[in-house]
Amino acid sequence: MLHVLFVCLGNICRSPVAEGVFRQLIAEAGLEKQIQCDSAGTSSYHIGQLPDHRTRANALEHGLTLTHRARRVTGDDLAQFDYFVAMDEQNLEAIEKLNYRSTGLYTNDTIFLLREFDPDISDQPDVPDPYYEGPDVFEEVYQISLRCCRQLLTYLVQQHVIKSERMKE
């Protein structure tokens, strides 16, 4: 079983969307027994809260119901999760620092920026934070998450030679 953790700052906008999109893609591929995911934030601003109401509304427009409660990433996550996917460079650095304090390694091949999987050529490494923005940025975050999570799933399936339950039928 592979475990993937999506990480943003407060765990109420970007990472819950990526988690929800990825969870849906996993289900559509019949890979629930092989891959699981969660999300967390690098800050403690919103611990215990549901995702931002605008995030939930946008997700619902795409058939996703987000019920995740915000939490902060911890050192225990390093042992539990196989892959860490940050929404921006600031949060990537926070994960790398946590990893360094725990393992003595600053980075490795299991810590990524989500946009590293973006099939659209972009010089922007970050998923924009929509918190202080309008509905168009919430939609942009959803679309980026969808594109990138599709590619992330393909990457994981190829790296780990995972076969879908649906493929076996």
How far apart CA 26 and CA 31 sit, in angstroms, is: 5
How far apart CA 17 and CA 87 sit, in angstroms, is: 11
pLDDT score for 165: 56
pLDDT at position 130 over 90:
yes
Q: In this predicted model, what pLDDT tens digit does every residue of 135-169 receive, in sequence order?
A: 999 999 999 999 999 999 999 999 887 766 554 44
SS3 7: strand
What DSSP designation does 8 have?
A: E
Nearest to 1 by CA among 165, 168, 169, 160: 160
> Could you tell me the residue range of the domain that residue 28 belongs to?
2-168
pLDDT score for 145: 98
User: Catalytic residue numbers?
Assistant: 8, 14, 129
Q: How many domains does the chain have?
A: 1
SS3 79: helix
pLDDT score for 166: 55
The CB density around residue 134, as the number of other CB atoms within 10 Å, is: 9
pLDDT score for 61: 97
pLDDT score for 106: 63
CATH of the domain at 82: 3.40.50.2300
Contacting residues for 1 by C-beta, under 8 A, at least 6 apart: 33, 34, 35, 36
- In the structure encoding, which two tokens stand for residue 40, read together? 């967390």
- What pTM did the predictor assign? 0.93
Q: In this predicted model, what pLDDT tens digit does every residue of 26-61 receive, in sequence order?
A: 999 999 999 999 999 999 999 999 999 999 999 999
Across-strand partners of 40? 7
pLDDT score for 93: 94
pLDDT score for 33: 94
Q: In this predicted model, what pLDDT tens digit does every residue of 58-112 receive, in sequence order?
A: 999 999 999 999 999 998 999 899 999 999 999 999 999 988 877 766 667 899 9
Provide the residue count of the chain.
169
Mean pLDDT of the chain: 92
